[in-house]
Amino acid sequence: MANNYNSAAGMNDGGCTYSAATLNATNSTTLPVQMKGTSGLIWMNNQLWTQNNFSDINLYSFDPTQTGAFQSMQASGTVNIDWEEMAQDEAYLYIGDFGNNANGNRTNLQILRIKKSSLQQSLLIIDTIKFSYATQTNFNATGTNKTNFDCEAFIISKDSIYLFTKEWLTNKTSVYRLPKTSGTHSATFVSSLDVQGLITGASFMESKRLLVLCGYSSTLQPFIYLLYDYPGYRFFEGNKRKISVNLPFHQVEAIATQDGVNYHITNEAFNQSGISVPQKLHQLNMSAYISGYLSTNATNDVYFSNAVRLYPVPANTILYADLPVNKTAVPYQIMNSQGAVVQQGMWNKSNAGIDVSHLVKGTYWILFSADKSYIRQWVKQ
């Protein structure tokens, strides 16, 4: 659907451009007043879960068709400084207490990690992931909404957490990575994307290589940002498409999906300058923009597979690869330890050697994009 689609291309270089598009909500429902500060959203146990972004320490769950019949659960022993997002993996529910727009100088940024098995108990089992941004060196107070170190969106992927900043000064978002283990960590900068707005939520389908962000402009115009078909975890190097949502003056804060096509988003209550919008839940159907991609083989997971054999180890001049594919030529990308692409080209079955003699010593990842995408680590000494 790109304006510059090239059917002869052998690799997605992230350069697709698209016409402007606007999406209408298929359904909108006012949420109970208890959720007026809704700021995170996930699907868990066949219900939507949300939390508020102020002092409330309750978690709320509900059927989206019966929002009035909600359940609440108190996260006893915690403090809600500024809870802004929810995420999950198989074992834990994560709550991002990292809102930082008041002065941009918080030194107590953290993510609460709640053991899912304790959600059915009277007392939740909670530990904490504390962090700081590796690139933030100035902690002087900036004043309200004058920092690039605010955050309202994050995702969980294998052993890592990826934060997506809400940058008030640049209208960009930056990705920072940190381990998903309890303790104190430094969040490492990965890359930035000029989204021309403020990112407030994230929904992630790792097996489909599909990341969807939500946010709004300085005039409270909501939008969705589709990111998909990216190499490895370089979220901003695949397809990128921004879609406006026809909900003017709605401060959209969170997004969730079960199937990658049908999404729910929430907006918090807004009352300012004579404009009054209550907290709401909206349903969006993205099939016109994403179903074609979801139906292709390109959406298979990235496999960290021993089926790909690299040799010699270490490889200093020529790296050879044996791939479990029938194709005679497969596109590849080599990324350094910071995730930057330093080399790309085509692997040929008849001559499986890749010249890496010009690369500096270090640890690298190589991604082969075949029917499935295979990624392996290798070392040059």
Mean pLDDT of the chain: 92
Domain limits at 306?
302-380
pLDDT at residue 306, as a whole number:
61
Q: Is the pLDDT score of 210 beyond 60? A: yes
Among 299, 327, 358, residue at a domain's last position: 299
pLDDT at residue 303, as a whole number:
54
Here the CATH number for the domain that contains residue 32 is 2.120.10.30
- Could you tell me if 373 and 234 lie in one domain? no
Number of domains forming the structure of the chain? 2
pLDDT at residue 237, as a whole number:
92
- Could you tell me if 83 and 232 lie in one domain? yes
pLDDT at residue 299, as a whole number:
44
- Could you tell me if 281 and 327 lie in one domain? no
Write the pLDDT tens digit of every residue in 10-35.
778 889 999 999 999 999 999 999 99
Please, which residues have CB within 8 angstroms of residue 39's CB and are 6 or more apart in sequence? 50, 51, 52, 53, 83, 84, 85, 152, 200, 253, 254, 266, 268
pLDDT at residue 372, as a whole number:
67
- Could you tell me if 81 and 120 lie in one domain? yes
Examine residue 142 and state whether it is found in any structural domain, yes or no. yes
Examine residue 14 and state whether it is found in any structural domain, yes or no. no
Lowest pLDDT segment from 226-235, 296-305, 327-336? 296-305
Examine residue 12 and state whether it is found in any structural domain, yes or no. no
Write the pLDDT tens digit of every residue in 38-79.
999 999 999 999 999 999 999 999 999 999 999 999 999 999
- Could you tell me if 336 and 274 lie in one domain? no
Better-predicted residue by pLDDT, 376 or 271: 271
Assess contact for 194 and 165: CB atoms under 8 A: no
Structure tokens at 335: 């990324």
Using DSSP's 3-state secondary structure scheme, residue 24 falls into: coil
Here the CATH number for the domain that contains residue 333 is 2.60.40.10
Q: Is the pLDDT score of 338 beyond 70? A: no
∠ at Cα 262 (192, 233), nearest 5°?
30
- Could you tell me if 216 and 335 lie in one domain? no
- Could you tell me if 84 and 175 lie in one domain? yes
CA 371 to chain centre: 24
Write the pLDDT tens digit of every residue in 235-277.
999 999 999 999 999 999 999 999 999 999 999 999 998 999 9
Better-predicted residue by pLDDT, 350 or 112: 112
Q: To which residue do tokens 């809102």 refer?
A: 99
- Could you tell me if 238 and 363 lie in one domain? no
Among 299, 332, 355, residue at a domain's last position: 299
pLDDT at residue 282, as a whole number:
98
- Could you tell me if 133 and 177 lie in one domain? yes
Examine residue 62 and state whether it is found in any structural domain, yes or no. yes
Please give the Cα distance from 283 to 264 (Å, whole number): 5
For residue 301, the 8-state DSSP code is: P
Mean pLDDT of 224-241: 93
- Could you tell me if 152 and 241 lie in one domain? yes
- Could you tell me if 95 and 117 lie in one domain? yes
Q: Helix, strand, coil proportions of the chain in percent (round to 5)?
A: 5, 50, 45
Among 299, 326, 345, residue at a domain's last position: 299
Examine residue 350 and state whether it is found in any structural domain, yes or no. yes
- Could you tell me if 330 and 198 lie in one domain? no
What percent of the chain is modeled with pLDDT above 70? 96
Structure tokens at 150: 């605010």
